Structures are given as structure tokens and as C-alpha cells.
Amino acid sequence: MKTFYIETHGCQMNVHDSEKVAGLLAGRGLIPVASPEAADVLLLNTCSIREKAEQKVYSRLGEFRALKKRKPSFVLAVLGCVAQQEAMDLIEKAPFVDLVVGTHRYHEIPHLLEQVRVHGRPIVRIERMEDPEPVEIDTVLRENNFRANVTIMEGCNKFCTFCVVPHTRGPERCRPSWQILEEVRRLVDAGYVEVLLLGQNIDSYQDPSSRKWKFAELLKAIGEVPGIRRVRFTTNHPKDFTPDILAVLERTPTICNWVHLPVQSGSSRVLRRMKRLYNLDEYLDIINSIKTLEKKIALSTDIIVGFPGETDEDFEETLSLVDRVQYESIFSFKYSPRPNTPALKLEAREGVPETAKQWRLNRLQSMQRRIQEHQNRQLVGTVQEVLVEGRARDGEKWFGRTPSNKIVNFDPDHVVPGQFLDILIVGFGPNSLQGQPV
Ligand code: SF4
């Protein structure tokens, strides 16, 4: 086993987990390659948040089976939420898979690969760690050298009725604040200018060290690390989004003016059935306090349409919320039944027909598109600070991000990824801005 390739599906947490696994393998002398065909070991890091994502895993595995036939020594490993959820079932459905590793066991991957090589039979390792702190892998092979993901906590204790995360990621486990700060300081020393703090329910962070910091205190300390230019964090739960976080956001210049605050529905009735632990008025109170800050904050959210029992009136309330808040972006999805979740039973009794789900999603997305176009139009003629990230999709333009998380495309100049530029906004679309360096 000399080379490896990791294909990652799903959220930013998975992207960062893959960076950690890549670091572990590179530390053992394996070389990362650019395609599955060139690899001796292929690791598929999976997502099970929606049914479609899970189906995609099996279809990708079907494609990789051909590689395995061509090269019998080829090792195929499945990681992530589907691995955790399916365990032995995965081996039964795809017997050519060599290794299944759950979300708590990534630090064991080099050893498990060795076991597969020695014993030549499939291994499933999905047992949860009882340790209250996550095992930190600090040999990370990051995707770039200017913006770093940093996990501060894992898992979730909320158990929203539609969500698999508490089942696949387990209960909340937080890293000690001193360890996180040490990592951020090391990153800044290595030239990183932006950190994205990650956690499934980041604002419920509780420091397990003797400092006993809450999220706001940790955020402030990270924002004050000398040399850091930008700090982002995701994702929040409205129940835990307390005023002290807002105060830190307002007063700490390095903390970006972007807040992702998933609402899921604009109907208090649906929110109750989702067990979201807040109602619409409570959510709007938080939005109002964010909007009264002097620092102008860009808001984004997640919305599920067609949750079991959602009526036309419930959905209209969601539209009215979106119109009222004027989010800069939303991630919207049709409700997808997930194993082991209470909403699965509701779906059997009160499932919204697929055509209604699709119609609601289309209406929501076209409304949001108009909102984004309107907001982006207002930015034409302004100058935005952009952190250059790389080449745009067309391969000719460059792209970067404003502190408020807007994508800006601009024409070639003498730039390098990781550089900050002032860009004059000259055009817009619903999803991005066009600009010229000034
Ligand atoms: S808070 Fe988020 S991660 Fe936790 S159960 Fe609810 S939706 Fe899932």
C-alpha cells in the first residue's frame, strides 16, 4: 500500500475529517494521489443526512467494485456517517468493501489498514469512544495553506426528530480550550490567516478543562490570537445562541460578519414537532438582536420543506419568515426520512406527497433567488475585502470570499491564493458577485 485517495461527501466536518485521515496516512509514508485509479487505498468518507446522499454511497461503491476486480490488492474503506449507521449491513450489501470505520475511530485507520492487509478479510470498527473528549488527530493534511478548519466539538445532544447526527456522531464531546487555542496559534505561525471553527452544535460548546469556558469566551480568545485575520464558525443552534456570543461578534473585529442560524421551518407548530426547542417568536427575537448590532451581519439558514404533517399554512409561514429575515443564503431541502429517527413514524402517517414537497421547494428557492439578487445588486459600486481562494470554475477568473461569505469572481491579475485584495464590485448574479481589483 503506497498511495491513497479520499473521496469526501457531505458537510465541512467530513471535509476536515478527511484532512485528518490524509494527515495520518501521509505520516505513515503513503502518498496522496489525484484519482481513485491511481490509488492502492481508496477511502470513501460518507454522509447520511439525506436518503439521496446515502444512495449515492452505494452507487459510488458499485463503480469502485470494477477497480477492485482489476486490481485485487486494492483496498476499499468506507468512513463517515453511512459507515457508522450501516456497520455490518454495509459489508453484506457490498461484500467487496475491506474496511468500515465509524466516526469515533479514525485515529485507528493506519492500524486497521494493516490488519486488512495481514488478515485479508473485512473489518468493521464502529464502536463509540466513551472518552468525554474527542481523540484529536494533529497531523492534518489541509486542503490549502491560508484557511484552516478547526474542530472544537463533535456530536449533538439535541435529537431533532428528523436528524441522524446524534445517532451517527454520538453525544457532544468538546476539546479543551487550551488545545484549540494552541492549534490556532500554530496555524497562524504557519501562515494561515483564516480559521473556520467547526461543531455540529457549536454554540453549545462547554470547555472540559478547568477554565470551563462557554463558546463566547473561546470565540473571543481565538479572535484575539495575534496575527489571525478572519474567524468563522458553524453551525449554530438557536437555543444556544446567547447574547454573550453576539457581544463578542460585535466587539471582535476579526470575527467575520456572518452567522449561520438554522431555523428549519417558519411554523411554530412544525418546529415543535421537529423538537427544535424554540418557537418562531423566540427565533425572531434572536434575529432582531443580530440586526440591531452596529456590525452588519449576513445571515444564512437551513430549511426543510415537507416535514411530515406540514400544511400549506405552515409552509406559508416559512415563506413569510424568509421574506422578513432576508437571508443572504439558505440551504433548503425536501424532508428525507432517516433511519432511527422519530419523524420516520410521522412520515408513515402524515407524509407530504412528493409533488407538494417539490412545489414548495421550488417556491422557496425562487423567492430566495430574488432576495439574493436584490441584496447583491446593492453591493455594486462598493469595495469589498476579498480573501483569494483560487481559480473560479471557468478556470480563467479568480474567486475569493468577503468577510460576509459572499463569493466574488474577478479577472486575472498578479494574485496568489491566500492574498487579501480590495475588489470593486461591478456585477452580480444571485449566487456571486463580479469585481475588479482596485
Ligand atoms: S441540532 Fe442539528 S445536528 Fe443536532 S439533532 Fe438537531 S439538526 Fe441534528
pLDDT digits (tens, 9 = 90+) for 378-429: 999 999 999 999 998 888 899 999 999 999 999 977 899 999 999 999 999 9
For the residues 184-189, what does the mean pLDDT come to?
Answer: 98
Quote the CA–CA distance of 58 and 394 in Å, as a whole number: 31
The pLDDT score that the predictor gives to residue 78 is 97
In the predicted structure, residue 350 carries a pLDDT above the cut 80: yes
Q: Are residues 174 and 29 in the same domain?
A: no
For residue 141, being part of any structural domain is answered with no
Q: Are residues 252 and 151 in the same domain?
A: yes
Quote the CA–CA distance of 422 and 63 in Å, as a whole number: 45
Model pTM above 0.85 = yes
Kindly report the CATH number assigned to the domain that includes residue 402: 2.40.50.140
In the predicted structure, residue 185 carries a pLDDT above the cut 90: yes
- Residue of 12, 157, 158 to mutate, ligand 1, most atoms within 8 A of C-beta: 158
For residue 140, being part of any structural domain is answered with no
Q: Is 341 in the pocket of ligand 1 (CB under 6 A)?
A: no
CA–centroid distance for 94 within its chain: 27
Q: Are residues 11 and 121 in the same domain?
A: yes
Q: Are residues 97 and 191 in the same domain?
A: no
Q: Are residues 114 and 185 in the same domain?
A: no
Q: How far apart are the first and last CA of the chain?
A: 50
User: Do residues 399 and 415 touch, judged by C-beta distance below 8 A?
Assistant: no
Q: Are residues 185 and 223 in the same domain?
A: yes
Kindly report the CATH number assigned to the domain that includes residue 40: 3.40.50.12160
Which residues in 318-328 are b (16+ Cβ under 10 Å) and which e?
bbebbeebebb
DSSP 111-148: HHHHHHHHH-S-EEE-PPP--SSPPP------S-SSEE
Q: CB 32: neighbour CB atoms within 10 A?
A: 15
The pLDDT score that the predictor gives to residue 65 is 93
- Residue of 50, 85, 159, 200 to mutate, ligand 1, most atoms within 8 A of C-beta: 200
Helix (H) or strand (E) holding 110: helix 109-119
The string of pLDDT tens digits covering residues 38-96 is: 999 999 999 999 999 989 999 999 999 999 888 888 999 999 999 999 999 999 999 99
For residue 138, being part of any structural domain is answered with no
Q: Are residues 210 and 172 in the same domain?
A: yes
The pLDDT score that the predictor gives to residue 413 is 78
Ligand 1 atom closest to Cα of residue 164: 8
Angle between helices 12-27 and 109-119 (to 10 degrees): 60
Distance (angstroms) between ligand 1 centre and the Cα of 160 equals 5
Q: Are residues 105 and 240 in the same domain?
A: no
The pLDDT score that the predictor gives to residue 135 is 81
Q: Are residues 41 and 172 in the same domain?
A: no
Using the 3D structure, point to which of 354, 375, 396 is the last residue of a domain: 375
Contact residues for 111 (Cβ-Cβ < 8 A; gap 6+): none
For residue 75, being part of any structural domain is answered with yes
- 3-class secondary structure, 434: strand
Ligand 1 atom closest to Cα of residue 163: 8
Give the percent of the chain with pLDDT over 90.
92
For residue 130, being part of any structural domain is answered with no
The string of pLDDT tens digits covering residues 23-52 is: 999 999 999 999 999 999 999 999 999 999
- 3-class secondary structure, 32: strand
Quote the CA–CA distance of 259 and 299 in Å, as a whole number: 5
Q: Is 84 in the pocket of ligand 1 (CB under 6 A)?
A: no
Contact residues for 99 (Cβ-Cβ < 8 A; gap 6+): 75, 76, 77, 78, 109, 112, 113, 116, 122, 123, 124, 125
In the predicted structure, residue 285 carries a pLDDT above the cut 80: yes
Q: Are residues 209 and 109 in the same domain?
A: no
Q: Is 169 in the pocket of ligand 1 (CB under 6 A)?
A: no
Distance (angstroms) between ligand 1 centre and the Cα of 165 equals 6
Q: How sure is the predictor about 204, in pLDDT bands with cuts at 50, 70 and 90?
A: very high
Kindly state the cell numbers that stand for 405.
461569505
The pLDDT score that the predictor gives to residue 129 is 85
Kindly state the cell numbers that stand for 326.
432576508
The pLDDT score that the predictor gives to residue 395 is 81
Distance (angstroms) between ligand 1 centre and the Cα of 158 equals 6
- Its sign, for the CA torsion 68, 72, 78, 84, is positive
Kindly report the CATH number assigned to the domain that includes residue 345: 3.80.30.20
Using the 3D structure, point to which of 323, 341, 375 is the last residue of a domain: 375
Quote the CA–CA distance of 388 and 415 in Å, as a whole number: 8
For the residues 226-247, what does the mean pLDDT come to?
Answer: 98
For residue 25, being part of any structural domain is answered with yes
Q: Is 195 in the pocket of ligand 1 (CB under 6 A)?
A: no
Q: How sure is the predictor about 253, in pLDDT bands with cuts at 50, 70 and 90?
A: very high
User: Do residues 127 and 84 touch, judged by C-beta distance below 8 A?
Assistant: no
- Among 131-140, 152-161, 179-188, which is the least confidently predicted range? 131-140
In the predicted structure, residue 1 carries a pLDDT above the cut 80: no
Beta strand 194-198 pairing with 147-151: parallel
Contact residues for 320 (Cβ-Cβ < 8 A; gap 6+): 266
Q: Is 201 in the pocket of ligand 1 (CB under 6 A)?
A: yes
Residues spanned by the domain of 399: 383-437
Q: Are residues 390 and 315 in the same domain?
A: no
User: Do residues 3 and 86 touch, judged by C-beta distance below 8 A?
Assistant: no
Q: How many domains does the chain have?
A: 3
- Residue closest via CA to ligand 1's atom 6 equals 160
The pLDDT score that the predictor gives to residue 8 is 97
- Residue of 154, 165, 173, 302 to mutate, ligand 1, most atoms within 8 A of C-beta: 165
Q: CB 151: neighbour CB atoms within 10 A?
A: 24
Quote the CA–CA distance of 376 and 380 in Å, as a whole number: 7
Quote the CA–CA distance of 149 and 190 in Å, as a whole number: 14
Q: Is 159 in the pocket of ligand 1 (CB under 6 A)?
A: yes
Q: Are residues 53 and 191 in the same domain?
A: no
Query: C-alpha angle with apex 27: 132 to 186, nearest 5 degrees?
Result: 65
Ligand 1 atom closest to Cα of residue 237: 1
Distance (angstroms) between ligand 1 centre and the Cα of 368 equals 23
The pLDDT score that the predictor gives to residue 362 is 98
Distance (angstroms) between ligand 1 centre and the Cα of 303 equals 13
Kindly state the cell numbers that stand for 186.
500554530
The pLDDT score that the predictor gives to residue 168 is 93
Distance (angstroms) between ligand 1 centre and the Cα of 326 equals 23
Helix (H) or strand (E) holding 333: strand 329-334
In the predicted structure, residue 131 carries a pLDDT above the cut 90: no
Of the candidates 352, 354, 349, 434, the one whose C-alpha atom is nearest the C-alpha of residue 397 is 434
Q: How sure is the predictor about 133, in pLDDT bands with cuts at 50, 70 and 90?
A: confident
Using the 3D structure, point to which of 341, 375, 409 is the last residue of a domain: 375
